[in-house]
C-alpha cells in the first residue's frame, strides 16, 4: 500500500507486490507501506521507502505510527495521545504537527512502524 509522509492521503488498498517473510524486526511485520513524501526525513524515512508495519504492537508516545484520519492515512511520530487530543509530529521542520480530537473526527491507529526497506539501486 501507500502512506503519506506529508499531508494525509486517501487510504485505499493497493497491493503492489507480495514480500516474503523477512527477519526485519523481532516485532513481526503484518504489511509494508510505500512512503510518499518527505515529512519524516529527520528519522531516516524517505520518499519511496517501504515501511514495515505491525498492526498489533502497543501504541506509545515516541513511536512512529500509521494513523487514519477519516479516510486518509499518514506516517508520523506520536507526540501526545489522550482521550481528547492526538498530536502527530512531522520529522521535518517544513511540516506542522497534525492535531486531532478523536472525539470530533474519525481517527484510528493502523499500526506501528517496525522497520524499513530502501531500494538503493
Q: Which residues carry out catalysis?
A: 39, 76
Q: Are 113 and 51 in contact (CB under 8 A)?
A: yes
Which residues have C-beta within 8 Å of that of residue 109, sequence separation ≥ 6? 59, 65, 66, 67, 68
HSE-up (13 A, CA, CB side) for residue 58: 2
Amino acid at each position: 500500500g501507500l502512506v503519506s509522509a506529508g499531508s494525509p492521503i486517501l487510504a485505499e488498498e493497493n497491493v503492489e507486490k507480495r514480500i516474503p517473510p523477512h527477519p526485519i524486526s523481532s516485532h513481526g511485520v503484518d504489511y509494508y507501506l510505500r512512503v510518499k513524501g518527505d515529512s519524516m526525513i529527520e528519522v531516516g524515512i524517505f520518499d519511496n521507502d517501504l515501511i514495515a508495519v505491525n498492526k498489533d504492537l502497543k501504541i506509545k508516545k515516541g513511536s512512529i505510527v500509521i494513523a487514519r484520519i477519516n479516510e486518509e492515512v499518514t506516517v508520523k511520530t506520536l507526540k501526545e495521545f489522550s482521550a481528547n487530543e492526538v498530536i502527530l509530529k512531522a520529522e521535518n521542520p517544513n511540516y506542522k504537527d497534525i492535531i486531532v480530537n478523536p472525539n470530533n473526527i474519525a481517527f484510528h491507529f493502523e499500526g506501528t512502524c517496525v522497520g524499513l526497506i530502501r531500494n538503493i539501486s
